């Protein structure tokens, strides 16, 4: 199994360091570092602090993804899913949660609110050109290849 070192710096006594919940889990759970519940109204977005900062190695990113249970049971997700944590970011990890559900949702202290997947990044070298290689699809956009 491939591993890289990601450094975590605890910023709050309320922080729970991320952890994988099974041997083959792709994502580490992120926990709410809050002392009181945060209620997210229907359609609202709340920034939930995790209470730590991290150092992701160059050539990697952190992808913040919704927890499937919160999304499927309560309609709670991440508005910019997946959120990106760049390797040079050193601020507090926070999770933007949006309530797509039918009722208000309460984020409880230490609740698992999202997953963090560490993934490799390949940077593109942009080359301006006069034309692009032709393909069968061409400029067909949204829905042009079928339903």
Query: What local confidence, expressed as pLDDT, does residue 143 receive?
Result: 73
Residue 137 banded pLDDT, cuts 50, 70, 90:
confident
Six token digits for residue 140: 């067909």
Tokens of 138: 């061409």
Q: What is the model's pLDDT at position 23?
A: 93
Q: Residue 145 pLDDT > 90, yes or no?
A: no
What lies within 8 Å, CB to CB, of 103 at 6+ separation is 42
User: pTM here?
Assistant: 0.88
pLDDT score for 54: 97
Please give the domain boundaries of the chain with CATH numbers for all domains: 7-120 (2.70.40.10)
The band of 147, judged by pLDDT with boundaries at 50, 70 and 90, is: low
User: How far apart (Å, rounded) are the C-alpha atoms in residues 134 and 116?
Assistant: 38
Phi then psi dihedrals of residue 120, to 5 deg = -70, 150
How much is the pLDDT for 25? 94
In the sheet where 83-85 sits, what is the strand order?
A: 19-20, 28-31, 112-120, 60-66, 83-85
The model's pLDDT over 20-64, given as tens digits with 9 standing for 90+, comes to 999 999 999 999 999 999 999 999 999 999 999 999 999 999 999
Residue 146 token pair:
């079928």
Question: What is the per-residue pLDDT across 79-126, written as a single tens digit (0 to 9) for each?
Answer: 999 999 999 999 999 999 999 999 999 999 999 999 999 999 999 999
């Amino acid at each position: 199994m491939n591993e890289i070192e990601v450094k975590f710096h605890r910023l709050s006594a309320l922080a729970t360091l991320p952890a994988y919940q099974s041997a083959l889990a792709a994502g580490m759970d992120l926990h709410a570092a809050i002392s009181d519940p945060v209620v997210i109204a229907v359609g609202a977005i709340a920034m939930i602090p995790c209470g730590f900062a991290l150092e992701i190695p160059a050539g990697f990113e952190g992808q913040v993804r919704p927890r499937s249970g919160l999304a499927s049971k309560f309609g709670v997700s991440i508005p910019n899913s997946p959120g990106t944590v760049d390797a040079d970011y050193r601020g507090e990890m926070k999770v933007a949660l949006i309530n797509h559900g039918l009722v208000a949702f309460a984020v409880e202290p230490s609740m698992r609110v999202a997953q963090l997947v560490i993934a490799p990044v390949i940077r593109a070298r942009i080359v301006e050109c006069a034309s692009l290689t032709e393909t069968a699809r061409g400029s067909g956009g949204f829905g042009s290849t079928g339903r």
